[in-house]
Amino acid sequence: MSIATNNIAFNVDEIRKDFPILNREVNGYPLVYLDNAATSQTPKQVMDAIVEYYSNYNANIHRGVHSLSQEATDKYEGARKKIQQHFNAEKAHEIIFTSGTTHGINLVASGFASILKKGDEILVSALEHHSNIVPWQMLCEKTGAILKVIPMNQEGELIYEAFEDLLSENTKMVFLNHVSNALGTINPIKKIIDKAHEKGAAVLIDGAQAAPHIKADVQALDVDFYVVSAHKMCGPTGVGVLYGKEEWLNKLPPYQGGGEMIATVSFEKTTYAELPHKFEAGTPNICGGIAFGAAIDYMNAIGFEAISRYEEELLDYATLKLQEIEGMKLYGTSREKTAVISFNIEGLHPYDIGTLVDKMGIAVRTGHHCAQPIMDFYKIPGTVRASFSFYNTKDEIERFIEAVKKAKMMLS
């Protein structure tokens, strides 16, 4: 492996060798990929795990006695244990494989339909991605529960005192992201979890944006549910995990019916399998789960402390350079944030900026970032969002800044 390890100094040039896509050109320019909050790039080590699965032991899991099935099962369940250890879950069966963060949230929301009743209250933060808003709105429509919103301030931070005021004996569920995908704000989730638990409310944390930057310890957080996607963590698309405390997962009914999630089936009655299989109906994304385990190995070999320090340098550098551009407006200026910058330039539409910088090989995200309530709060149609990962460089940031300046000149 060419990656740096915990025992070797962080070396971005060596790390970049693991990502073949970083060598390509876009519109005649070397690619500068700054859309990591949407999806990260995939190293060769993870690609190799995918090829190895399909080349050497492609078979269905759990059901077969033949060697390929047993090998695939061992690799898949081995990946579950890697993920358990990474997030420090107490038990491997508290890790449920899903198709991603959205699937995990919907699984929990569906389960709470059998728990909530009319007049119960659930709290959502104003900083959420649509996938952590819409399922809960649908739940309220089904149950008669009441959705209340924890407000934010101009810096893009949640107003904790308002959360305390909203919290009551009627609060049954609190859900928010660990990190805002649109602004990069790191929320004080431990403080919120502890306060919610004082009222007996369960807490779900959307960890999709935090997981690439922060190694969450679910036991230390005492969180009830934590959801992530592999494709934000150098893994493949279409796979993620839901962590849930065993007691909560046992309370929730199955999300889907089918093979694998049953103990016995007759036309008179079906009994359900134990965790985790109760929530894993049908043939899973076997290769995706194994590759997620490989991605976890890859990022841990570099070390999350090293990743965090380096990405903070990139964020500080890019922020300083952007602020030198006349008419620049930054959104999300929390003191605690990860490597995301959202901005607009006075008089220019973010889509136009994004289109022009793409012509110069720079990949950024433009629009509302599936966070329309945030854009409504700031009374803007959207932003340009640049998001950084540990394989980006200051030279790439310089190219990004120059591209933004050129776009500004062309549009002014």
Q: What's the CA gap between 293 and 270, in Å, rounded?
A: 33
**What is the length of the chain?**
412
Q: What's the CA gap between 163 and 102, in Å, rounded?
A: 24
Q: What's the CA gap between 178 and 196, in Å, rounded?
A: 15
Helix (H) or strand (E) holding 202: strand 202-206
User: Which residue out of 140, 234, 287, 370 is catalytically annotated?
Assistant: 370
Which two structure tokens, joined as six digits, stand for 61?
Answer: 């899991």
Dihedral sign, Cα of residue 231, residue 342, residue 191, residue 177: negative
Number of other CB atoms surrounding residue 340 within 10 Å? 26
Distance of CA 199 to CAs 121, 171, 189, 225, 313, Å?
A: 12, 7, 16, 17, 39
What one-letter code names the amino acid at 324?
Answer: E
Q: What's the CA gap between 234 and 46, in Å, rounded?
A: 8
Active site residue 370: yes
Contact assessment for residue 361 and residue 348, using Cβ atoms and an 8 Å cutoff: no
Distance of CA 66 to CAs 58, 61, 183, 286, Å?
A: 12, 10, 50, 17
Strands 383-387, 340-345: parallel, antiparallel or unpaired by DSSP?
A: antiparallel
Strands 171-177, 29-30: parallel, antiparallel or unpaired by DSSP?
A: unpaired
Contact assessment for residue 214 and residue 304, using Cβ atoms and an 8 Å cutoff: yes
Helix (H) or strand (E) holding 286: helix 286-302
Contact assessment for residue 350 and residue 366, using Cβ atoms and an 8 Å cutoff: yes
Please list, in sequence order, all residues whose beta carbon lies within 8 angstroms of the beta carbon of residue 65, skipping any fewer than 6 positions away.
Answer: none
Catalytic residue set: 370
